[in-house]
Each structure stands twice: as C-alpha cells, then as structure tokens.
Amino acid sequence: MLVPLHKILAKAHKENYAVGAFNINNMEICQAVVGAAVAEKSPVILQTSEGALKYAGIDYLKALATVAAMNKVPVTLHVDHGRDLNLIRSCIKAGWTGIMYDGSHLPLDENIKNTKKVVQWAHKKGIGVEGELGTIGGAEEQIIARKIIYTDPDAAAEFVEKTGVDALAIAIGTSHGAYKFEGSGRLDIHLLKTIKDKLKMPIVLHGASGVPASLVTMAARFGAELGKPEGVPDDQIALAVKNGVNKINTDTDLRLAFDAAVRKVIKERPEEFDPRHILGPARDLMQHIVQHRMKLFGSSGKA
C-alpha cells in the first residue's frame, strides 16, 4: 500500500527506528529496494530526485511505485530534494505521498516561505512534507557542492513552528556522495540529541551511505577508479537511530553495488550481451545491500 510520509514516520518516531529512503531511477533499482522490504518485512520509502524524474519520467516512476505498493509492506513515494515548485506540484497531482522541499540553499526566511507553501499544498491532499535546515555537504547531479553548515537547534524549532513540516532533515556532519570524510567519519550525535529533544518529531539523515569496503574493492577489481571513498560507518548509523533519526537516505551505496556488479559480469563474461544477464546480478547485489541497511536501521519486521 502507498502511505503518506507522516504516517510511515510516525510509527518509526514512536518505536525508535528509522525507515530507509532509497533513491530509485529505474526498474531494477526499484525491484531491489522493494524486494528487500518484502524479504525484511520492512516499511520503505522510494524517493525520486529531480534528476530521477528527468531521467525516468514521472509516469514511469509512478507506475513503478504503484506496482511496489501491491506488496504487503508500507511504501511511501517521496520527492527527494525538490526545489522546483512546479515539479513538486506535478508530483503531488500524480500521487506522490511525500515531498521533501529543499530550501536549504536559500536565506532562512525564503526557505520558510517556500516550505510553508509546499506544506499547504501537500497537507490539503493528506501528504507529508520534509524540510531541510542547515546544509549537508557534497555534490549530486542537481545539488550544488557546498560546505556543511550544522543545523542550529533554535533555528530548527522556529523553522518547524513556522512551516508545519512533518519531518526535518538536519546537518550533523554527513555529505552526499562517496567521499564524505577526510578524517574519522564521526557524526555530531550530541547535536542530534539536542535537536531531537527540542523538536520531538521525525528527524532525517541525508548523505548516510556506508560506502562498504566490499563494494569499493569489488568495483576496483573490475576496473573502477574511485580513489579513496569514505562512508558513514555502521556504528555511527546505529547511534544516529538510537538518538532519534527516523528516515535515512541512501543512494550512493545502490550506485556502488550496481556499478560493481555490472563491471563484474562484463569483465568476467565478455561474450555476454543480454541486458537481463548484465543487470540481474546488479539487482541481486543491491537487494543484499538494502536488506543489510534495513536490519541496521531497525525497520526489519516493522511492516
């Protein structure tokens, strides 16, 4: 079933676990994520960035989520880092059940103004909204590279009060992409705890991929040149969940698994050219990674 963002997160907030939000861009990624949710009996958030909406198209992504929702696990179809208000309106109209409005690049008053507008549109349709305050580091296709600005707890309280968002993405040291830390890879758990105690609402962690060494090694073995990627260690994710994070975004780990598995087939079986034989192992490996994360987030068995 397709459920609204605030509903899927309310249970997680109450029972102290996190729902994984995985970026989908094509059928195999969607099948891997949903296959994991079914196997783990876990709720799941399928999220589509503006880049994904451009790449796959709103109708294909909606169709994928509709099929996903036929399973017996709660599924939320969510816009990730929405900035284009017209695109957000189209997704609301098309049946998305969660929206992230990302105004974190704007001055606070403009971020509040736009987020509030999105909340009004969404709540009219029974859809939940995630806002962002502070800036998460790193660069993605549609997101300009920037330095991390940690979320200020007082500003967060003001932001939530003025906008009426259902969930808040905060910056506590993570970055998007595969190169998150130069040092020890620690999150500011104290800041997370302060914000959670103050807001008492679902908190979202972006840039949370683990960048598992096994995937990096596998990709490199079959020709990838990735330099020195670094993710958020599993123990830091567990601490974040324990201290109040209820939605955890993961995209990079899916990309790494996809890349490593596709490279392996092509390198080991150069005679292979059936797309099903090339993409099938990638789908399996992504599902394996997602299942591991659902266990780590504590969402397994919560469907």
Toward ligand G3H, which CB reaches closer, 40 or 251? 251
Provide the mask over 150-189, with x wherever binding to ligand G3H is found by CB under 6 A and - wherever it is not: --------------------------x-------------
Provide the mask over 224-263, with x wherever binding to ligand G3H is found by CB under 6 A and - wherever it is not: ---------------------------x------------
Binders of ligand 13P among 181-210, rule CB under 6 A?
206-209
Toward ligand G3H, which CB reaches closer, 215 or 265? 215
Provide the mask over 191-230, with x wherever binding to Zn ion is found by CB under 5 A and - wherever it is not: ---------------x------------------------
**Site for ligand G3H contains 6 (CB under 6 A):** no
What's CA 17's distance to the chain center, in Å?
15
What's CA 187's distance to the chain center, in Å?
17
Q: Report the residue from 26, 71, 142, 194 that binds ligand G3H according to the rule CB under 6 A.
A: 142
Binders of ligand G3H among 48-67, rule CB under 6 A?
49, 51-52
Minimum CB separation of residue 77 from ligand G3H in Å reads 15
How many residues of this chain bind ligand G3H (CB under 6 A)? 11
Annotated catalytic residue, options 80, 166, 251, 259: 80
| Cα 208 from Cα 273, distance rounded (Å) | 34
Contact 205, 245 (CB under 8 A): yes
Establish whether 274 is a catalytic residue.
Answer: no
Catalytic residues: 80
Residues near ligand G3H, by CB under 6 A: 23, 49, 51-52, 80-81, 140-142, 176, 251
Catalog residues that contact Zn ion under the rule CB under 5 A: 206, 249
Residues contributing to the site for ligand 13P (CB under 6 A)? 23, 80-81, 176-177, 206-209, 249-252
